[in-house]
Each structure stands twice: as C-alpha cells, then as structure tokens.
Chain A
Amino acid sequence: MSDLSEKDIDVFIEAVGDYFKKTTQEAASVGVAYLARNAFPMNDFTGMIKVSADYDGILYFSAPSAMLRHLLTVMKETNQSDENLLDAVGEIANTISGNARKYFGENMVISIPEKVAGLPSSFNQQARYYAYVIIIKWKHYSASLIVDISRKR
C-alpha cells in the first residue's frame, strides 16, 4: 500500500499558503497537524472537493466566517454575504486541489467545489482510517485543511 507521504500532503498545504500569499500578500502557515477520525474540526464555511480516478476521498477547507470576511476585505470585495463567503471557501478548495493536480497528475480527477455552511453532511464516510487535519493560520485566524484522500491500489 502506498499511502500519502508528508510530501504529498505538503502539496495541499503549499497550495493554501500560495493562495493567501498571492491573493493577500500575506502567506498562511501551518499550526499543527494531526489525525482525526469522525471528529473533523469544522468551521462556519466549508469547501469540499471530491477526488476520484487513481485517488479516493475528499479535500476539505473549512474556515470561520471572520477569516473569510477579512479575506474578502483584502480582496476589496464589499459584498460579504454568506453567498460570497461560501464562494470564497469553495474557490480556495478548488484552487488547492487544482494546484495539486500539477503534482499528482491528471489521474487525480477533481470535482467542482461543493460549498457548505455549518457542518457538512457527507463526512461520516471517511476514505481514510484516519484523515489528516492540518490547522492553517492566517493572520490571527485558524482554518482547517482536512485531507481525507487515499491512493487507490
């Protein structure tokens, strides 16, 4: 079995860091990384990308609304409706997984982002025995990047 390596997971983290750096001139950093089973640390808004083909599972990017509002402000987006906050979180998840394809190749097929306010309903089915939880810090906010992706054999 060839599981995801730290390098594989780092690809997602780099993508998040890059997103914030390019969009806001302020990079995001890694707080802590650990494993989670059934208890994912979800925030107000969550963007989800399903991966398929050679891979299986979901990538989550979940951020508190205050963080997303701050992000939109930096982007000079004045409309900070829930709809736009969802849009932002979906776009981040989409960008992360899109960027990751450069590394994983076109055999990682990614879906268009699914965006949820509150707790997503679909995460009770885990692709991994333990999913990777990476707490991402931007300014004084913390968001969760959850990599529940496994490589098919």
Chain B
Amino acid sequence: MKLMIVDDSNIIRNRIARIASDSFLNQKLPNIEIVGAAASGVEAHALFLKTRPEIVTMDLTMPEMDGVECTTLLTQVDPQVKILIISALSDKATAIQALMNGAEGFLYKPFTDDELINALLELVEE
C-alpha cells in the first residue's frame, strides 16, 4: 500500500511516518510504503499526480490550499483513493464536508499511536 502524508507540521509528518513504519515492523499493519509527504494542499496535489498513492492522511488547516479542497481534487483524480482526515478541527460541519468530498475516515488530533494505527487499519481493510 502506498501512503502519502499531508500535514503542514513537520513533526506530525514525521510522527505519522514513524508510527506507520513501526507498525509494519510490529506486524500491526500491512506493508505501507510511504511514497511522499506534503506540507500543503498544493504540494500534495502535485505529489499525488507523481506518486499515485492508494492511501492519504490529510490535515485540514494548511496554508495555500486546505485539506477539504485538496481531498476533492485528489478524489477527482482517483476516486479509489482512500483519504484519512487527521485534523484538530473538531466541528461537525468541517468533518461532514470532508466526508462528503470523498474522505473515508476522520481522526482527531491529538491522537495516540494506537488510534492512528486503528484508523489506518480500518482504511486498509475495506
């Protein structure tokens, strides 16, 4: 499974990548290959076209292009892509909008390692 991480925080990108690869080592997750990490929606769109990941973790509040908009773009390119929103924005309207625009899961920040693993598992298992 090819994974792309989208978040404007460097430490969050690193943390997601670390949890995903550690979990593969611990056999908690199937093989997830991290094909890229982007810090904004615009960057994510370009990287998506190049690497064509199957799963994407997506932050919502980002400069240039926010996560909801980016989700719409990515699902237009590939309707099969599975997008997990990872955001601190906890209001319902935003979450519903993201899900309507094609996201499949929603994980609230802050999250524990296990919460991220479970969210990724749910995404991969379908």
Taking Cβ atoms with an 8 Å cutoff, the residues of A that contact B are 18-19, 21-23, 25, 72, 75-77, 79, 83-84, 87-88, 90-91, 94-99, 101-102, 105-106, 110, 112
Contacts and interface: CB of A to CB of B under 8 A. Distances in A.
A112 B12 CA distance: 15
B88 A84 contact: no
Contact of A75 (B15, B61, B63, B115): B15
Interface residues of B, number: 25
Contact of B11 (A22, A91, A112): A91
Interface in B24-78: 61-63
A91 B115 contact: no
Given A83-B10, A112-B62, 10 more contacts: A22-B115, A72-B11, A75-B11, A84-B10, A87-B10, A87-B11, A98-B61, A106-B91, A106-B94, A112-B8
B112 A91 contact: no
B14 interface: yes
Which of A21, A25, A76 counts the most B-chain CB atoms under 10 A from its CB? A76
B110 A23 contact: yes
Contacts of B91: 101-102, 105-106
A22 B88 contact: no
Given A110-B61, A112-B63, A99 B11 contact: no
Q: Name the 7 nearest CB pairs between A and B, nearest first.
A: A98-B88, A102-B90, A22-B110, A95-B88, A101-B91, A19-B110, A98-B89
10 contacts: A22-B112, A75-B11, A75-B15, A77-B11, A94-B61, A98-B61, A98-B89, A98-B109, A102-B92, A112-B61
